Structure 1
Amino acid sequence: MIEAGYVRQMARYNAWQNRQITEALTGVDDDVLRADRGAFFGSIMGTLNHLLWGDTLWMSRFHDRVPAPAVPPSEHLTFTPTFAVWSAERFRLDGAMRMWADTLRSLDLKRRLSWHSGTMNRDFRQPLETCVVHMFNHQIHHRGQVHAMMTAAGLQAPVTDMVFMPEDE
């Protein structure tokens, strides 16, 4: 399905996208970030927290150096209390994701991952590569929602086209 090079590329893309979002939203009033914009998770901040919480959960399953989220699923929309805390935690997790991806071998992706979903209240077992693709697709989906909410709020949304990602990212 995928190779380790794909994971490294997507980890780079994820970090680049999150860095651009951070730069674009730094200094934006908290009321703008928390305004309900009719998206699935309501606000820009709620969606960013959902993404960070989900990425933290998946990475804790993939890599033993990433601890599981410190809050239960019911609190994912308030995972971080402020944009500044979100920015710091996002930067930390994106670095951990890139370091994990840099050590990954294609063969590692063929193993099966087992976990218990508290949300679904059942056990799952899937190929790691399927779970990794899911994590990256989940990021792209919800960052698209953030992009739309930024645009609707009159904010400058970042470039999202992977083909324009700088080589040094």
Structure 2
Amino acid sequence: MIEPGYCLTMARYNAWQNGLMKTALQELDEDALRADRGAFFGSIMNTANHILWGDTLWMGRFDKGPGPELGADASIAMTPNLPAWTGERFRMDGRILRWAEQVGALELKGDLSWESVASKTAFRKPLALCAMHMFNHQTHHRGQIHAMVTAAGGEGWRTDLPYLPEEGPWL
């Protein structure tokens, strides 16, 4: 399905995109970050928090480290403000990169089992599928944020994967 190189490329892309997004968000005032813009999670800040929450959830499953302390319904409150989000986002991007640097092909061919707290459902899915989902989830919601930032009068950022820098630093 996928190989370790995919995970590493997407982890680098994720960190690069989050850095560009952070710069765009820092140009907006608090009201612009918190305004309900009709997106699924309402505001820019709520959506950024949800992405961070989802990454924390999946990484807890992938690397057996800590997961989110909040449930899915509270994902939009993962951090209280942009400076706190920025610090947590930086740490999470590093965690994702470390995982992607060491995930092996054999591991990606195996399954991941977990129980969803939200739906009370037990799952067993290929780890490769779950990794693809995590990276797709990030991209999906970052696209929503991109649209909200530009609608708020902010600067968008380049999102095309071919522009991913060949060399880091990724964080």
TM-score by length of 2: 0.96
Secondary structure of the structure 2 residue equivalent to 1:146:
helix
- In the aligned structure 2, how far is the partner of 1:47 from the partner of 1:152? 15
- In the aligned structure 2, how far is the partner of 1:53 from the partner of 1:104? 21
Structure 1 unaligned blocks of 5 or more = none
- In the aligned structure 2, how far is the partner of 1:166 from the partner of 1:122? 40
Q: State the match for 1:131 in structure 2.
A: 130
Structure 2 unaligned blocks of 5 or more = none
**Letter of the structure 2 residue corresponding to residue 102 of structure 1:** E
- In the aligned structure 2, how far is the partner of 1:24 from the partner of 1:134? 25
Q: State the match for 1:86 in structure 2.
A: 85
Q: State the match for 2:114 in structure 1.
A: 115
Root-mean-square deviation (Å): 0.8
Q: Give 1:59-78 correspondences, 5 Å limit.
A: 59-64=59-64, 66-78=65-77
1:13 lines up with 2:13 in the alignment? yes
**Letter of the structure 2 residue corresponding to residue 35 of structure 1:** A
1:104 lines up with 2:142 in the alignment? no
CA contact (8 A) 2:146 2:156 kept: yes
Q: State the match for 1:160 in structure 2.
A: 159
Q: State the match for 1:54 in structure 2.
A: 54
TM-score by length of 1: 0.97
Moved beyond 4 Å, runs of 4+ = none
1:142 lines up with 2:124 in the alignment? no
Q: State the match for 2:39 in structure 1.
A: 39
CA contact (8 A) 2:53 2:75 kept: yes
